[in-house]
């Protein structure tokens, strides 16, 4: 009946909420709706290690807040390459759009994350560049310190050592139109430039602007006969990327001149142009409307750069397919040469109309973000397609997508939620859900229950982690529960706070056929011991037993569908007299704990423990006597196998 009601609830939910079935939802993080992925693997063996870093947004400009509560969907997100959520970062900046979200390994020995937080919808804040450590604490917020409208969304590029960062700038200025043959006229233009900022103080250390460096005629956006514009003016260059090499020169991409420029770090002059109307290179390829231009290597005379050639924009396309290009530049020869050493066409043959990114990974694989709908692909160094992925939802894009290794160790503890249901005293079940937002490398969850708030945590089972959220079904009514994240070496990484199990608002409507106050909680040590015994007598290990109860993450929705069978098979295997006996003892002990809590007297505790311990031992002994194989653990004085009583050793902060 309980399952029937839940099933009904679930299916009506599906009908009503079909449009958001492309979002994940979690019991432990109810405020988060992370995007689901559609993934196709072509050769998983050759994929690079690492996680995906994306920052989905619905619309690029900040949305007006409404009175309506909105769940977290946009902002920085980390996934593994199964599409399993690792970190939902949207709560950190309250659902603000973020851009250029990526792992950063050049600050110190610890991995960091960096991203741009978008400006405020009412321009009350200009946005900023954020650096977050791997405990998910904000370490630096790099501000716009001058008159610029915002921290431009295109680039937040942290230089080696983490002392400085590069950002793009857009500035409205008045220019004389002499370059268009109209020296008596002026127009507003939006010039493009970059700054190198001090990460600590946000001070501008280096500033470059196209104003006196790039003539109007280099732009493919405006014509000599166009009428002069008012503020903010012609967006005539549209800078969208900046990088710096060891020699201290800057590589910039101007989308509306179809040109990549090397800017001297000495004097700010243009060293060379690649592409566009005034290319200095002998080149055997074309590109246009390029994005995310970065150095792969650079030694003074030879540069290897990566470029996303989206070859298309809202005004039309110059080529039929967008591509990632790895280009080798030789500036020691005359004329200088530019050669494509790797061209990776967009796997679906499409055109990237919106932004994008390309990076060469440490193992020389190439990861490309085609932007719209989060479409991304990974390729071997020879270009072979290994994987494509995109958001299940059409409503979101990400400006750039990255892949990289990362170790996340959140300072916040894991989130645990538990609830109990049941039809009578002998048939209660506790559902536990746990997740740890941002943690990498958790392989297993151990679950513990306590008879009362200061009781000893008793191990009640463990489940391998396969999804963001892990579910565990415990027999009985476990009132005080906690969970431990376990790494591959079996170490405890962190422990959740001990939470109390939620009870149905109305026991009757949850199928309970006892009296209205519902069941009383069980003593976990007795239930755990009984399960252990039943487990070994039926020939299966207790690990297998608990694992068979485990359902992870998204599959918890399926559980509700299949719940009838899962639930009843779980309980029927234990609906025998031994189990009922154990439950009786559990109740008695729990009642005793209740008394202790009320009276708080050590003497009474000892008296009660001795009395009940004796009764428990007697029943325990009876159970053992009836079993064919004897229990290998030595019962303690209370009749509980000591090995099963695990004290949590990790500090609980």
Ligand X SMILES: *[C@@H]1O[C@H](CO)[C@@H](O)[C@H](O)[C@H]1NC(C)=O
Cα 307 to its chain centre, rounded Å, is: 26
How far apart are CB 440 and ligand X at their closest, in Å? 16
Of residues 529 through 548, those in contact with ligand X by CB under 6 A are 540-541, 544, 547-548
Residue 403, both tokens = 């892949």
For ligand X, the closer CB: 226 or 554: 554
Dist CA 341 CA 338 (whole Å) = 9
How far apart are CB 410 and ligand X at their closest, in Å? 22
For ligand X, the closer CB: 125 or 343: 343
Residue 398, both tokens = 């990400």
Contact window for ligand X (CB under 6 A) among 300-308, 393-401, 448-456, 589-597: 300-308
Q: Can you give 541-582 as a three-state secondary structure string?
A: CHHHHHHCCCEECCHHHHHHHHHHHHHHHHHHCCCCHHHHHH
Query: Helix, strand, coil shares of the chain as percentages rounded to 5?
Result: 20, 35, 45
How far apart are CB 103 and ligand X at their closest, in Å? 25
- Cβ-count burial 493-510 (b if 16+ within 10 Å, e if not): bbbbebbebebbeebeeb
Prior bond to 601 cis, omega within 30? no
For ligand X, the closer CB: 124 or 517: 517
How far apart are CB 532 and ligand X at their closest, in Å? 14
Q: 3-state DSSP call for residue 532? A: helix
Dist CA 584 CA 269 (whole Å) = 85
| Contact assessment for residue 102 and residue 115, using Cβ atoms and an 8 Å cutoff | yes
For ligand X, the closer CB: 189 or 471: 471
Of residues 254 through 283, those in contact with ligand X by CB under 6 A are none
Q: Confirm or reject binding of residue 300 to ligand X (CB under 6 A).
A: yes
Dist CA 354 CA 400 (whole Å) = 10
Residues 6+ apart with CB under 8 A from 614: none
For ligand X, the closer CB: 17 or 543: 543
For ligand X, the closer CB: 77 or 512: 512
State how beta strands 182-198 and 234-235 pair. Answer: parallel
How far apart are CB 541 and ligand X at their closest, in Å? 5
Nearest to 128 by CA among 105, 108, 148, 112: 148
How far apart are CB 466 and ligand X at their closest, in Å? 8
**E-strand spans in 346-411?**
357-360, 366-369, 376-379, 385-391, 397-404
- Site pattern 592..611 for ligand X (x: CB under 6 A): --------------------
Q: Confirm or reject binding of residue 517 to ligand X (CB under 6 A).
A: yes
How far apart are CB 629 and ligand X at their closest, in Å? 15
Residues 6+ apart with CB under 8 A from 123: 149
For ligand X, the closer CB: 515 or 632: 515
How far apart are CB 426 and ligand X at their closest, in Å? 13
270: β partners: 263
For ligand X, the closer CB: 192 or 275: 275
Of residues 75 through 104, those in contact with ligand X by CB under 6 A are none
Q: 195 burial class (0-12, 13-18, 19+ CB within 10 angstroms)?
A: buried
Phi/psi for 643 (5° steps) reads -60, -20
For ligand X, the closer CB: 213 or 444: 444
How far apart are CB 542 and ligand X at their closest, in Å? 10
For ligand X, the closer CB: 12 or 266: 266
For ligand X, the closer CB: 70 or 544: 544
For ligand X, the closer CB: 59 or 540: 540
Sole binder of ligand X in the list 299, 363, 565, 611 (CB under 6 A): 299
Q: Confirm or reject binding of residue 286 to ligand X (CB under 6 A).
A: no
Sole binder of ligand X in the list 67, 515, 632, 649 (CB under 6 A): 515
How far apart are CB 504 and ligand X at their closest, in Å? 15
Q: 3-state DSSP call for residue 607? A: helix
Of residues 302 through 341, those in contact with ligand X by CB under 6 A are 302, 319-320
How far apart are CB 487 and ligand X at their closest, in Å? 11
Q: Say how many residues touch ligand X, by CB under 6 A.
A: 14
For ligand X, the closer CB: 537 or 548: 548
How far apart are CB 540 and ligand X at their closest, in Å? 5
* Rounded to 5°, angle at Cα 575 from 624 and 498: 85
Dist CA 548 CA 569 (whole Å) = 11
Q: 132 burial class (0-12, 13-18, 19+ CB within 10 angstroms)?
A: buried
Residues 6+ apart with CB under 8 A from 550: 463, 464, 470, 471, 472, 473
Q: 3-state DSSP call for residue 298? A: strand
How far apart are CB 290 and ligand X at their closest, in Å? 16
State how beta strands 112-117 and 128-133 pair. Answer: antiparallel
Contact window for ligand X (CB under 6 A) among 60-68, 242-250, 264-272, 297-305: 297-305
For ligand X, the closer CB: 541 or 565: 541
How far apart are CB 637 and ligand X at their closest, in Å? 28
How far apart are CB 300 and ligand X at their closest, in Å? 5
How far apart are CB 18 and ligand X at their closest, in Å? 32
- Site pattern 546..585 for ligand X (x: CB under 6 A): -xx-------------------------------------
For ligand X, the closer CB: 22 or 487: 487
Q: 3-state DSSP call for residue 167? A: strand
For ligand X, the closer CB: 319 or 555: 319
How far apart are CB 374 and ligand X at their closest, in Å? 26
For ligand X, the closer CB: 62 or 422: 422
Sole binder of ligand X in the list 301, 407, 565, 611 (CB under 6 A): 301
The continuous run of DSSP H or E covering 313 comes out as strand 312-313
Nearest to 172 by CA among 127, 210, 207: 210
Do you know the residue count of the chain?
A: 653
Dist CA 413 CA 135 (whole Å) = 11
Dist CA 228 CA 234 (whole Å) = 9
Binding residues for ligand X, rule: CB under 6 A, are: 299-302, 319-320, 464, 515, 517, 540-541, 544, 547-548
């Amino acid at each position: 009946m309980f399952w029937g009601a839940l099933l009904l609830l679930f299916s009506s939910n599906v009908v009503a909420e079909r449009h958001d079935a492309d979002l994940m939802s979690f019991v432990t993080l109810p405020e988060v709706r992370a995007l689901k992925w559609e993934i196709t693997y072509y050769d998983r063996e050759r994929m690079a290690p690492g996680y995906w870093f994306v920052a989905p947004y619905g619309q690029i400009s900040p949305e007006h807040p409404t009175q309506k509560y909105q769940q977290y969907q946009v902002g920085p997100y980390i996934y593994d390459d199964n599409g399993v959520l690792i970190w939902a970062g949207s709560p950190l900046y309250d659902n603000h759009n973020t851009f250029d979200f990526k792992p950063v390994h050049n600050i110190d020995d610890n991995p960091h994350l960096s991203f741009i937080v978008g400006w405020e919808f009412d321009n009350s804040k200009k946005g900023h560049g954020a650096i977050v450590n791997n405990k998910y604490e904000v370490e630096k917020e790099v501000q716009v310190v001058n008159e610029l409208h915002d921290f431009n969304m295109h680039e937040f590029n942290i230089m080696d050592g983490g002392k400085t960062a590069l950002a793009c700038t857009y500035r409205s200025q008045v220019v004389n139109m002499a370059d268009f043959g109209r020296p008596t006229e002026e127009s507003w233009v939006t010039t493009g430039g970059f700054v190198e900022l001090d990460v600590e103080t946000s001070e501008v250390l280096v500033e470059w602007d196209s104003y006196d460096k790039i003539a109007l005629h280099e732009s493919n956006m405006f014509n000599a006969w166009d009428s002069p514009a008012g503020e903010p003016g012609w967006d005539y260059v549209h800078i969208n990327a900046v990088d710096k090499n060891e020699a201290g020169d800057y590589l910039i991409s101007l989308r509306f001149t179809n040109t990549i420029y090397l800017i001297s770090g000495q004097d700010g002059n243009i060293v060379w142009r690649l592409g566009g109307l005034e290319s200095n290179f002998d080149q055997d390829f074309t590109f246009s409307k390029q994005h995310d231009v970065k150095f792969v290597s650079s030694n003074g005379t030879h540069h290897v750069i990566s470029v996303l050639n989206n070859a298309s924009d809202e005004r039309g396309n110059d080529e039929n397919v967008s591509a990632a290009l790895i280009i080798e530049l030789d500036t020691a020869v005359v004329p200088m040469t530019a050669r494509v050493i790797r061209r990776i066409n967009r796997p679906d043959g499409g055109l990237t109309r919106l932004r994008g990114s390309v990076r060469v990974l440490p193992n020389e694989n190439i990861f490309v973000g085609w932007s719209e709908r989060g479409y991304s692909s990974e390729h071997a160094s020879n270009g072979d397609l290994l994987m494509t992925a995109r958001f299940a939802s059409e409503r979101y894009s990400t400006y750039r997508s990255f892949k990289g290794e990362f170790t996340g160790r959140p300072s916040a503890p894991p989130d645990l939620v538990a609830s109990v249901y049941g039809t009578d005293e002998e048939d209660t079940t506790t559902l536990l859900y746990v997740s740890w937002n941002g943690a990498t490398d958790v392989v297993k969850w151990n679950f513990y229950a306590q008879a009362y708030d200061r009781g000893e945590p008793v191990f009640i089972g463990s489940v391998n982690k396969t999804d963001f959220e892990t579910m565990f079904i415990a027999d009985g009514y476990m009132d005080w529960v906690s969970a431990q994240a376990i790494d591959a070496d079996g170490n405890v990484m962190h422990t959740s706070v001990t939470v109390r199990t939620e009870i149905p608002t109305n026991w009757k409507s949850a199928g309970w056929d006892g009296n209205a106050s519902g069941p009383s909680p069980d003593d976990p040590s007795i239930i755990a011991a009984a399960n252990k015994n039943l487990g070994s007598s039926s020939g299966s290990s207790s690990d297998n037993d608990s694992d068979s109860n485990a359902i992870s993450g998204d599959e918890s929705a399926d559980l509700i569908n299949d719940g009838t069978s899962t639930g009843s098979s779980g309980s029927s295997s234990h609906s025998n007299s031994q189990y009922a006996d154990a439950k009786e003892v559990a109740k008695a002990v729990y009642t005793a704990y209740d008394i202790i809590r009320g009276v708080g007297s050590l003497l009474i505790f000892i008296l009660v423990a001795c009395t009940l311990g004796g009764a428990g031992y007697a029943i325990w002994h009876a159970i053992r006597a009836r079993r064919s194989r004897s229990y290998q653990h030595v019962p303690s004085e209370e009749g509980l196998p000591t090995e099963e009583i695990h004290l949590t050793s990790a500090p609980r902060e």
